[in-house]
Structure 1
Amino acid sequence: MSTNQVIISMENLLNNEEIDWLVKFLAGKGSNDEIIEKIVRITTKLEKMKRR
């Protein structure tokens, strides 16, 4: 899978705010509260998609 395919797949899964946060998280930036909130939000979204 190419980088562009990964980005397109992520855009279908996450919104721009979540992608921006994920990039910050992977770069080691962001507060603990923000990290916990976003992980819960993304995990919930993934669980809902898995049930479909």
Structure 2
Amino acid sequence: MRELTYNELWEINGGEGVLAAIVAGLVVAAVPIALYAACQFVSGFVEGWNE
């Protein structure tokens, strides 16, 4: 039983497709969260500034 090379493990695990799907999922999830957080921060800052 010889050791698998990194490339062979990569192919067995589905390789770049899986990694790309995970990264894309994280990006898609992070964008609306970041936008929402930015809006909350800006609106809070504006309200604090107006008081």
TM range (shorter): 0.3 to 0.5
TM-score by length of 2: 0.42
Rg larger in structure: 2
Q: Compare relative contact order (CA 8 Å, sep 6+) and give the higher one, 1 or 2.
A: 1
